[in-house]
Amino acid sequence: MGSTPLVSTVDQAAELLKRAGASGQQVHVVGSGSRGVPNPTDSMPLSTEALNRIVEHNPGDFTAVLEAGVPLADAQAAFAAEGQWLALDPPAGGTIGGLVATADSGPARHRYGGVRDLIIGITVVLSDGSVARAGGKVIKNVAGYDLAKLFAGSYGTLGLIADVAVRLHPLPLRTATLVGESTEPARIADAAYALARRPLEATCLDVSWAENTGRVLVRFGGHTAEERAHAAEPLLADLAHKSVVTDDDDLWAAQRARQRTPDGVVLKVSGRPTDIRTVLETARDTGATTVGRAALGLFWLAGPADADWVAKIREALAPRACSIVDGAGRLPDGVDIWPAPDAGALTVMRRVKARFDPARVFRPGTFVGGI
Amino acid sequence: MEALISKFRDIVGPEWVFTHEHQLRTYESDGLLQYQALPAVAVLPGDGDQVRDVVAACAAANVPFVPRGAGSGLSGGALPIADGVLIVLSRLTRVLEVDLDNGRICVEPGVTNTNVSAAVGPNFFYPPDPSSQIVCSIGGNVAENSGGAHCFKYGFTTNYVTGLEVVLADGEVITLGGQEPDQPGYDLLGAFVGAEGTLGIATKVWLRVVPVPEATRTLVAFFDSTREAGEAVSRIVQAGVVPGAIEMMDAVTIVASEQMAHAGYPVGRGAALLVELDGSEQECEAQFDDVVGICRDCGSDDVRVSRDEAERQLFWKTRKAAFPAMGRMSPNYFVQDGVIPRTKLPEVLTEIEALATEYGLTVANVFHAGDGNLHPLVCYDGRVEGEAARAEELSGRILDACLSAGGSITGEHGVGVDKRKHMPKMFAEADLDAFQRLRCAFDPAGLANPGKVMPTPRLCGEVPGPYRQHPLEAAGLAERF
C-alpha cells in the first residue's frame, strides 16, 4: 500500500470515498493517530491532517467551526486569545476529528458535558461520496435529526467527519482545587458523594486511586474560586492531607494522564456515582490505578495488557459496561474491546451502519457487536 | 380500521379507545391550533406494555400512528393523521424510581415537566423548563428536545436524558442508554431525543437531575431600545458571566405583559432585559454587581433588583405572560422560533421591524437572548380576509432573515408540520437524505409519525446487500491527491 492519502478539501474526501465505496476498499480515517485505535489489516488509512482550517471563530457568539484535522491544541490556543475555550480536556491531544470520533473526555466533563453536549453541527462524508450536514452554527437548534451526536463516538465506522461546529465557553479567570486523601475507598466515596450532592458549581470533581492511596479533587473556577475551595473543606472532614491548590493545572494533567497508559490497557467503566467504592476497591485489589468523574459515574482503570486482568475487572464490576479505550492492540485476539449493548439497541445500530455505510468500508468489524 | 380498533379495545380496555367525534375533537390539534385533523381513533394505553401491543397491532396492519403527549407542542408535531391512529400517552404518569445518590429519576413519558422537579425536590431539580412546564409531558420534551428560559446555562432536554425505553414502530422494545452514561455503541439516545416522535415512542425516561443552586439573583433592566439591551447581553456574556437565564422583551410585549401581570413595568420603554444569576452565593454576589454595571453602561437608567422570591416570581410571571398577553392584544398571532447567532441580534431585529412595516402588521418580540432564540409574535386578525396569509408569509420571511444570519428555523418548538416547508432552505438534499437514513434505520416501514420533520414524504429503499469486494489500485488512489 502506498503512502497515506491526504485530503485537503471536502470534495477530495468525497471523491476518494466514493471510489472506495464503489470498490469496497476499506478505509480508516486518521487524525494524528494519537488514540491508538486498532484497524483492520486490509484497511487504507485516510489522513485528515490537511483538513486543518479553523473555518470560523465567532468570539461574540462563543462558537467555532473547525475542520477535522485541526489539532485540539491549536484550536485552544486560538480560542484562548479571546479568553475562551472549547471545554473538552481529553487525555490525548490529537485532532478535533479524532476527539469527536472517539467522544473522548476529561475532568471538565463534570461541568461542561462531553463532546455530544458541545457539538452543535457536523459535516460528514459517506461511503457513496455524499456530503451531509446536520445541526448548524447556533447553540440552540432543533431542526432536523441530531446526526452530530450519532457520529460523536462512532469511532469512524459511519463516515468521515469533515468539520464540526462547537460551542465555546469563557475561560475561568481563576481556578483552585481542594484535595483530600485516604487509604480507605469508603472514605473517598463518602467525601465524593458529599461534594456531588451539594450545589457547589465546581468545574471538576474527580476521584482517583494509585499506589494504595485514594484522592478526591474538586476544582472551582471564577472570581471566588479559592474562597469556594476553602469553604468546601468541611465536606472532606474524614480525609487526610487536605489542601487548596491554586496553581492546579499539573494536578489535573495528572488526572487526565491516568486515562491513558504507555504499555498496559485502560478500561472505561460506564457506571454510577454509587460505584465509587467498588471501583476503588477493585483497583486496589488488582494493583490497578483508576481515575473517575465522581458525579458522573465514569471511571478509567489502567492495568497490565493482560486478558485475565481485563476479565477480572469486568467480572468484579458486572453488570457495568467496561470498554477498552487504550491498549487494545496490546491484548491477544479474542478479547472484546466493546461489551455488548442492549440486544434491541444493537439491532438498530446494525441498521444504522447498514444505512450510512452500506458498502461497509469504514472500519468494518471493529465496533460493538462486530459492526 | 374497524378490526384494528377492536384490537385496541382488547389491549387497553374499551373505555380507553375513543372513536366518537365529540371525544376526538379534543385531539384534533396540538398547541398549534391552525392545523386540525380528526383521527379515526385515539387510544390511551395505561402502561408501556400496552403501548407496545398497540404499536405492534398498528405494525401488523401496516397502519401509521401519531404519538401525543400533553398536546402543548407548538409545531403541529402531534397533529393526527386524518382518519388515522393517535396514541395518547397521558395515562403513563408514574414516577418509577428516584435515585438521588446517583442524581437520577426514571419516569413514564406522561409525567409533567414540573412533576419531575417536584419528585426530586427540594434539594434537586430538573433544569429544562419550557414555558408550558406545568402541563407539558416529559415524553413530549424528549420528542422535541425542549429548552426553556434556563437552558443557556443548563442545556436542553438532550443534555439530561441518560436512557430511554423505546417502542419501535414494529413493536420491538429496546433500551437506549440507561442510568449510566456513555454506554458502548452509537449514541442512538442522542439521535432519538428531538426526533419528534418519528423514530418510535419512549415509554420510560431516565433523567439526570442536579442540586438546586445555593443562591439566585434576578434583575430587570429597562432600555430605550432592543439594540441597547442586545449590547448589554453581549457584554454580559463576553465578561465570562453565564447567567441562569437572560430574557428580552420589546416595547410591544412590555405593554401587553404589563396589562396582564401588573408588575409596574414602565410602558413606553423600548426593551426589558431579565437577567437571572444562580449558583454559589459568593460567585453570584461577585458577578451580580458586574451585570448591573454593564446594564447601566449600556444605557439602562432603570435597573430593578428583585428583593425577595415574590418579586422574582413577579418578574418571571411578566415574562411568561408574554404569549397569553398578546392573545388579548391581537385576535390571532403566529409564534416563530427562529435562532440567530447572538451578535446578529441588532441587525435581525431591524430587519424584522422593516418587514413588519412592509406587511403592515405588528410583530412583538420576546426572546431567550442568551442563545439567540427569537420568538417573534406576528399579530393578525383572522377575520380580515387575507391577513392570516400575509402574516404567515411574513413569518416565513422572518425565518429567512434568521437563516441569512447563519441561524436556524427552530430553536425549541420543533419542525413538526409547521416548519417542514422551510427545511429545504436550511438543509440540502444530501442532508435530508442523511436524515432519512437514520429514520429508515429506526422505522423502515415509515409508520411512526409520518409527514413530520421531513419536507416531503419519503420511502425507505432496501438496504443494498453486502458489497462484492474487489481490490482497489491503492497506489493509484494514493497518487490522486
- Three cell numbers, residue A181: 486523601
Q: Quote the CA–CA distance of A231 and B466 in Å, as a whole number.
A: 62
How much of chain B exceeds pLDDT 70, in percent? 96
Ordered DSSP codes for B443-477:
-TT--BSTTSSSSS---PPPPP---------HHHH
Nearest chain A residue to B430, by CA = A132
The secondary structure of residue B368, as a DSSP letter, is E
* Adjacent-strand bridge partners of A28: A45
Q: Quote the CA–CA distance of B334 and B75 in Å, as a whole number.
A: 11
Q: Please give the domain boundaries of chain B with CATH numbers for all domains.
A: 2-88 (3.30.43.10), 95-211 (3.30.465.10), 215-404 (3.40.462.10)
pLDDT tens for B133-170 read 999 999 999 999 999 999 999 999 999 999 999 999 99
Whether chain A has a CB inside 8 Å of the CB on B75: the answer is no
Average pLDDT, integer, range A196-217: 97
CB-based contact A320:B426 (threshold 8 Å): no
β-strands B363-368, B85-88: how paired? unpaired
What is the interface pTM, i.e. ipTM, of the complex?
0.97
The CATH number fitting domain A10-170, selected from 3.40.640.10, 3.40.50.10490, 3.30.465.10, 3.50.50.60: 3.30.465.10
Reported confidence tier of residue A289, pLDDT bands at 50, 70, 90: very high
Residue intervals of chain A classified under CATH 3.30.465.10 are 10-170
Print burial letters for A241-279: b (CB count within 10 Å at least 16), e (below 16).
ebebbeebeebbeebbebbbbeebbbbbbbbbbebbbbb
Average pLDDT, integer, range A296-312: 97
The values of phi and psi at residue A12, to 5°, are -65, -45
- Three cell numbers, residue A351: 441498521
Q: Quote the CA–CA distance of B368 and A231 in Å, as a whole number.
A: 34
Q: Quote the CA–CA distance of B442 and B55 in Å, as a whole number.
A: 14
- Three cell numbers, residue A310: 481485563
The CATH number fitting domain A175-330, selected from 3.30.830.10, 3.40.462.20, 1.25.40.10, 3.40.50.300: 3.40.462.20
The secondary structure of residue B100, as a DSSP letter, is G
Residues of chain B in contact with residue A347, where contact means CB-CB under 8 angstroms, are 172, 174
The values of phi and psi at residue B22, to 5°, are -65, -30
Reply yes or no on whether the pLDDT at B466 is more than 50: no
Ramachandran category for residue B272: left, alpha or beta (phi over 0 → left; psi -120 to 50 → alpha) = beta
Nearest chain A residue to B455, by CA = A144
Among candidates B174, B96, B115, which has minimal Cα distance to B443?
B174
Nearest to A132 among B180, B181, B434 (CB): B434
Query: CB–CB of A150 and B191 under 8 A?
Result: yes
- Three cell numbers, residue A85: 475555550
pLDDT tens for B370-427 read 999 999 999 999 999 999 999 999 999 999 999 999 999 999 999 999 999 999 999 9
Ordered DSSP codes for A130-151:
-EEEEE-SSSS--SS--HHHHH
Whether chain A has a CB inside 8 Å of the CB on B211: the answer is yes
Tally of CB atoms within 10 A around A61: 23
Averaged confidence pLDDT in chain A? 96
pLDDT tens for B181-230 read 999 999 999 999 999 999 999 999 999 999 999 999 999 999 999 999 99
CB-based contact B260:B302 (threshold 8 Å): no
Tally of CB atoms within 10 A around B97: 13
- Three cell numbers, residue A206: 474527580
Q: Quote the CA–CA distance of A56 and B295 in Å, as a whole number.
A: 29
pLDDT tens for B85-135 read 999 999 999 999 999 999 999 999 999 999 999 999 999 999 999 989 999
- Three cell numbers, residue A2: 502506498
**Amino acid code (one letter) for B230:** G
Residues of chain B in contact with residue A222, where contact means CB-CB under 8 angstroms, are 283, 286-287
Residues of chain A in contact with residue B184, where contact means CB-CB under 8 angstroms, are 270, 321, 323, 338-341, 368
CA A244-A246-A250 angle, to 5 degrees, is 100
- Report in angstroms the alpha-carbon separations of A244 from A109, A239, A248, B199, B424: 21, 13, 9, 49, 54
Reported confidence tier of residue A3, pLDDT bands at 50, 70, 90: low
